[in-house]
Structures are given as structure tokens and as C-alpha cells.
Amino acid sequence: MVKGMVVLLGGIVAAVGAYATCDLLHVTSIKAAAFEHTRQLSNGKGIINLGAGPHRTYQASVIAKQPEVSANIDVVANGLPHFLQLDIERETLPFSDKQFGCAFASHVLEHLDNWQFALDEMVRIADNVVVVLPDPLYISGWLWPEHRQHFSRDDMERLVEFYPNLVVYC
């Protein structure tokens, strides 16, 4: 079992004009690193990808189509392979305990009111969980109108203490 950890990558961008570009590159590189870690943690048992809707980024769509991904879940219907339309903050996931080697949720929890329920379900159905959250140092995460939650570095540390099979990237 993996011991929970927070992986902090990136830094502060001083030039405001370059901020949006650097933020996008930062998120893309973090997501790629997190998914690679997810592959390793899945041990060939399969990955469940939460928050895989068509409204996501190009990279999210690429991840959703990877052969290791056994299920893609989102509240918005789409044509992705192995897709189920579910509201992960309200509906119990229709999978058995520890059915997956790893659950992957990139930029999902900050959009949920009931993120604890969703995280509890991920922990229930997967041996390991990899979550990507907005870096609290990036102002864009705080200003995004659809973000209902804001996780500080201390919040992330508490999460991995409470969930020993959780890895948080930001």
C-alpha cells in the first residue's frame, strides 16, 4: 500500500502577463506526472477515471482513452469508452470494494460541494487514489467561479494523513 503524500510541483510566476500560459503548462505537466504515477499504482488492476466529461481538456480526453482506464465517470454524458454518467458527490459508485488498482481524479474535488463523499467512494473502490488539485499558490484556482472548494497545502497534508492510500498532486 502506498503511504499518502502530497507532491508539490511548480512555483510562483512573477510576470503577470505570462501567468495564464505558465499556469496551463503547469497543470498539463502535473496531470501527466500524476497519471503516470496512477499507472504505476494500478498494478495492472485497472484505473477508474473520475471527472472525464467532454467539457474537460484535450489531455483529459487522451487520459480517458488510455487502455489501462477501465471506467470513465462524469456527471455530463459523453462518448468516451467505458463511460458511466454519475453524480459522484451524490451517488454511490456501482463498483465493488477495491475493484480498481487506482482511482484518478484530476481537478474534480474543487468543483464539488460534497467532495468528502466522492473521496470516500474513491477510497472504497480502489487500492490507491491519485488526486490532482489546483496549486493554492496560483490565483487562477481561487478566481475560477466554478470552484466550490479551495484546498491549502495544510488541507492537502491533512487529507493524506487521513487517507493513507491517497496521493495528492498540485
> For residue 108, what pLDDT is reported?
84
Q: Tell me, what amino acid is at 35? A: F
Is the Cβ–Cβ distance between 50 and 87 less than 8 Å?
no
Question: How is residue 90 written as a grid cell?
Answer: 451524490
pLDDT of 72 > 90? The answer is yes
Q: Name the region of 51 (left: φ>0; alpha: ψ -120 to 50; beta: rest).
A: left
**Comparison of pLDDT for 77 and 157, the residue scoring more:** 157
> For residue 138, what pLDDT is reported?
58
What topology is assigned to 19-169 in CATH?
Rossmann fold (3.40.50)
Q: For the whole model, what pTM was predicted?
A: 0.82
Buried b (16+ CB within 10 A) or exposed e, 14-32: eeeeeeeebbeebbeebbe
State the greatest distance between any 2 C-alpha atoms of the chain, in Å, as a whole number: 48
Q: Sketch the domain layout of the chain as residue ranges.
A: 19-169
Q: What does the alpha-carbon distance between residue 78 and residue 129 come to, in Å, rounded to a whole number?
A: 23
96-153: per-residue pLDDT in tens?
A: 999 999 999 988 877 788 989 999 999 999 999 999 877 655 555 545 666 668 766 7
Average pLDDT, the chain: 79
DSSP secondary-structure letter at 88?
T
